[in-house]
Amino acid sequence: MTDRRRRPLWCFAFDGVQSLDVTGPWEVFAGANTTLGYDAYELRLVSPDGAPISTESWLTLRTERVPDDVPGGLTLLLPGGHGARHGSRDPDLVAGVLRVAERAERILTVCTGSFWVAAAGLANGRRVATHWNHTAELARRFPDVDVATDELYVRDGELWSSAGVTSGIDLALAVVEHDHGADLAQLIARHLVMFLRRPGGQSQFATPVFTEPARTPPVRAARQRIDADPGGDHRLDHLARAAGMSTRHFARCFTAEVGVAPGAYVARMRVEAARRLLETGDSTVDVIAAECGFGTAETMRRTFHRQLGVSPDDYRRRFRLTPEGTRP
């Protein structure tokens, strides 16, 4: 039976909000309304005082004051931006968010919108995603929150949280799929000129972007060796011997400087190399697995599922480049 439920959905806006955190999910839910032919999501853009707000990029958004009465079945969307990180230190603003959030049926956070629920105490003991650049800050300020460091989005009960900026669109598509089925979510994704929504477990970014630069020559040389040939023999004892260290000392230094253990770094670099080959070449998964150092296609599949949430074949179908350098 088709779900004809009308779900109130409020997006909480504030000065310094990231505009795409608001408009990306909003377009998904508005697209669902258009496609379904009725207001499946009753959208309202609200703020503490109802005044126009200025986004990080200096856009002005008109809002309405947060209503006193919170409707049943409310979905509350909490976007991010520098205004969220700073505003989550303001007791009055946090109290206003808490008043609505604790009565909401479902809470969605985008990017640093996770700081609102953490400051309100609603994320204690729960797994929450945020922008990769602010995971350490979120964990430091709120040690009782289980911070997901790499996923695009996470669902923990009725708390749904996504990582940086555009992943809010993926989160919104996942919500639409949950509420109305995969067919509708795929229709909206195509309308927005997206691929099928990315799985929540997919990495936020490529490995070289988020790892820290190595400070000492031995670790820097080891990282350069791995980067230059991900498919090579990078067993821990070999890397440690080349660095002139014991395996334990090398592993400790590498992890402290780069931010991940040597084995995890090697695995991620191999995934990056395999991704490029899947996007641009015609080699089979078996050939790519051997070339990139996985050994077997099955090992490569398990690693892809663990890091990206998809199989190599599914990744190729979604992200392969055409000869013109565009996605199909």
The CATH number given to whatever domain includes residue 153 is 3.40.50.880
* Residue pair 211/259 in contact by the 8 Å Cβ criterion: yes
Residue 163 is assigned to a structural domain of this protein? yes
Between the CA atoms of 281, 287, 289 and 290, what dihedral angle is there, to the nearest 10 degrees?
-130
The predicted model scores a pTM of 0.67
Same domain, 160 and 219: no
Residue 326 is assigned to a structural domain of this protein? no
Give exposure, 172-184, as e/b (b: 16+ Cβ within 10 Å). Answer: bbbbbbebbeeeb
Same domain, 223 and 138: no
Q: For the domain that residue 297 is a member of, what is the CATH number?
A: 1.10.10.60
What pLDDT does residue 200 have?
46
Smallest CA-to-CA distance from 168 within 84, 111, 107 is with 111
The number of beta carbons lying within 10 Å of the beta carbon of residue 190 is: 11
Residue 240 is assigned to a structural domain of this protein? yes
Write out the two tokens for 126. Answer: 């729960």
Same domain, 128 and 217: no
Last residue of a domain, one of 165, 191, 217: 191
Same domain, 128 and 171: yes
Cα gap 227→154, rounded to integer Å: 30
**Main-chain dihedrals φ then ψ at residue 153, nearest 5 degrees:** -155, 160
What pLDDT does residue 203 have?
52
Same domain, 186 and 291: no
Smallest CA-to-CA distance from 231 within 298, 277, 176 is with 277
Residue 196 is assigned to a structural domain of this protein? no
**Main-chain dihedrals φ then ψ at residue 11, nearest 5 degrees:** -105, 120
Could you list the residue range(s) of the whole structural domain that residue 14 is in? 7-191
What pLDDT does residue 328 have?
47
What pLDDT does residue 212 have?
61
For residue 166, how many C-alpha atoms fall within 13 Å in the half-sphere facing its CB?
8
Place of tokens 């300020």: 141
Residue 77 is assigned to a structural domain of this protein? yes
Write out the two tokens for 132. Answer: 């990769």
Same domain, 265 and 136: no
Last residue of a domain, one of 134, 161, 191: 191
Cα gap 107→74, rounded to integer Å: 8
Same domain, 177 and 257: no
Same domain, 36 and 171: yes
Instruction: Classify residue 212 by its DSSP letter.
Output: P
Our count of domains for the chain comes to: 2
Amino acid at the residue 75: T
Cα gap 121→286, rounded to integer Å: 48
Same domain, 120 and 83: yes
What pLDDT does residue 56 have?
92
Q: Between the CA of residue 26 and those of 31, 179, 310, what are the distances in Å?
A: 8, 16, 26
Query: pLDDT tens track of the chain, all 328 residues?
Result: 456 889 999 999 999 999 999 999 999 999 999 999 999 999 999 999 999 999 999 999 999 999 999 999 999 999 999 999 999 999 999 999 999 999 999 999 999 999 999 999 999 999 999 988 898 899 999 999 999 877 788 999 999 999 877 889 989 999 999 999 888 988 888 788 665 445 544 454 444 445 566 789 999 999 989 988 999 999 999 999 999 999 999 999 999 888 889 999 999 899 989 988 998 888 999 999 999 999 999 999 999 988 877 889 988 887 765 444 444 4
Contact partners, residue 129, CB within 8 Å, separation at least 6 = 109, 114, 147, 148, 151, 152, 153, 154, 161, 162, 163, 167
Same domain, 112 and 35: yes
Residue 2 is assigned to a structural domain of this protein? no
- Considering only CA atoms, give the Rg of the chain: 22
Smallest CA-to-CA distance from 211 within 267, 152, 140, 290 is with 267
Same domain, 60 and 19: yes
Same domain, 21 and 140: yes
Q: Is 150 exposed, middle or buried (0-12, 13-18, 19+ CB in 10 A)?
A: middle
Cα gap 64→109, rounded to integer Å: 20
Residue 201 is assigned to a structural domain of this protein? no
Last residue of a domain, one of 166, 191, 216: 191
Residue 1 is assigned to a structural domain of this protein? no
